[in-house]
Amino acid sequence: MAKIIIKNGLVVDPAQKISAIMDILIVDGKIAKIAKTIRVSGAKIINAIGLLVLPGLVDLHTHLRDPGQSEKETIATGTKAAAKGGFTSICCMANTNPPADSPAVVRYIKDKAASQGVVNVYPIAAVTKGLRGELLAEMGLNLQAGAVAFSDDGRPIMDARIMRLALEYSRQFGVPIIAHCEEANLAKDGVMNEGALSTAMGLPGIPALAEELMVARDIRLVKEYGGSLHIAHISTARSVDLVRQAKKQGISVTCETCPHYFTLTEAAVNNYNTNAKVNPPLRTEADVKAIKRGLKDGTIDIIATDHAPHNIELKDIEFNSAAFGMVGLETALPLVLTELVNTKILSLSQAIEKLTLVPARRLKLDKGTLMVGAEADVVIVDPRVQIKVEPSEFASKSHNTPFAGRALYGKVLFTVVGGKFVVTNGQLVSNDK
Ligand code: DOR
């Protein structure tokens, strides 16, 4: 029996309301015991004094680009990036080439992840065929093939009737629709947040209202017809408020934001920095404050990465033509620790809950906890070490981050997936990209 003891770390497991110095015993890939002191012979011992011992993080929103865009990322490189960032389970979006709108593609992702992935991969299937927003994909068959949710992320579902049908099916299946809320006509041709800065820079803007109209519509649809709605990457103050009001009324809706929306404002695109071009766009100071308030008061349930790798040919070009998106798996945890925990906006437990338990529960994944009997997905982090974001060191195939050079707290030292070390002393165990 393979035994590992992680000794004397600060174990934070919101599922068990644990936040204390403890030992964890892993036997044959499963959590076998958590206690103040564990003594077992023949175990590999990891000394975690001064370190955080967390459930492996769960990302509800990763773009793995596989199949079809291996110049940006593959299942192999994307899962390595996840492991380096402390994520042991990731849910991958359907806007691949071809899109994940059929059982064949869903199965391809699962099979490839099983053979080449180093973390757990859960495919999210498209809501509509070809992500065109016109005809529903075979949601039931895609679910049977292994999808854990449905999303046309990257594109909105403009047709309210299609969204209604999707929500009705989601109610039947008990699996959420993850909505990319964007009124496409209002957002058309926009490349950054609409406001004084876009005017000054001479760039077409995407108004906050383009997001908010669709957040309002989808909340209204779910109120009327039921269903399971999760709103992706919310970025504006009024979106947060719409979700807050909906929850107060007892409407069943959840939402996520991403590290860039609580860390950066639209000012990051100054100098026409395409690495800060993302959809929805970075917003204003007031929006960033509102996102933080929403995280703090529980309106925003989940922190997801929206890891969106793009090759340099799509970023090192003029701003209008550059692709939307930024990589996020390898910076998310340090950004959360530095910007939310160290600033006391969230307690450590609250932050970890939004990165583990809540996303896992939302998609009914048996993940996100260190409960005895669970698969041993564990991450060990040194919260005191300051790292400098160095894109050339990313395991991701793409380097499109606006955080290059930024000093952040928190270094992932060990990532364990099902009892197997994938990252040791901050390095991938087999580093063949
Ligand atoms: O910036 C983004 N990039 N937003 C999205 O919704 C899609 C993503 C991508 O696929 O690149």
In angstroms, what is the span from residue 328 Cα to ligand 1's centroid?
Answer: 12
Q: Give the separation between CA 380 and CA 82, rounded to whole angstroms.
A: 14
The CATH number of whichever domain residue 26 belongs to comes to 2.30.40.10
The CATH number of whichever domain residue 180 belongs to comes to 3.20.20.140
Among 306, 307, 311, 397, say which to mutate for ligand 1: greatest number of ligand atoms within 8 Å of CB: 306
Annotated binding site for substrate: 63-65, 95, 279, 310, 324-325
342: left (phi over 0), alpha (psi -120 to 50) or beta: alpha
- pLDDT for 163-220, tens place per residue? 999 999 999 999 999 999 999 999 999 999 999 999 999 999 999 999 999 999 999 9
- Does the annotation mark 306 as catalytic? yes
Lay out the sheet containing 120-125: strands in order across.
Answer: 57-62, 87-92, 120-125, 149-151, 177-179, 229-231, 253-257, 302-303
| Per-residue pLDDT, 430 | 76
Q: Are residue 169 and residue 256 in the same domain, yes or no?
A: yes
Both tokens of 388, joined, read: 């400098």
- pLDDT for 26-74, tens place per residue? 999 999 999 999 999 999 999 999 999 999 999 999 999 999 999 999 9
Interval 363-372 mean pLDDT: 98
| Per-residue pLDDT, 433 | 43
Q: Are residue 42 and residue 62 in the same domain, yes or no?
A: no
- pLDDT for 119-150, tens place per residue? 999 999 999 999 999 999 999 999 999 999 99
Q: Are residue 96 and residue 141 in the same domain, yes or no?
A: yes
Q: Are residue 22 and residue 131 in the same domain, yes or no?
A: no
| Per-residue pLDDT, 1 | 66
Atom of ligand 1 nearest to the CA of 153: 6
Q: Are residue 389 and residue 338 in the same domain, yes or no?
A: no
Q: Is residue 367 part of a domain?
A: no
Ligand 1 cavity residues, CB under 6 Å: 63, 95, 153-154, 180, 278-279, 308, 324-325
- pLDDT for 392-411, tens place per residue? 999 999 999 999 999 999 99
Q: Give the whole-number percent of the chain exceeding pLDDT 90.
A: 99
Q: Give the whole-number percent of the chain exceeding pLDDT 70.
A: 99
Q: Are residue 345 and residue 383 in the same domain, yes or no?
A: no
In angstroms, what is the span from residue 279 Cα to ligand 1's centroid?
Answer: 6
Among 92, 153, 235, say which to mutate for ligand 1: greatest number of ligand atoms within 8 Å of CB: 153
Both tokens of 94, joined, read: 């359907």
- pLDDT for 85-123, tens place per residue? 999 999 999 999 999 999 999 999 999 999 999 999 999
- Does residue 343 surpass a pLDDT of 80? yes
Atom 2 of ligand 1, nearest CA residue:
325
- pLDDT for 371-390, tens place per residue? 999 999 999 999 999 999 99
User: What DSSP character marks residue 135?
Assistant: S
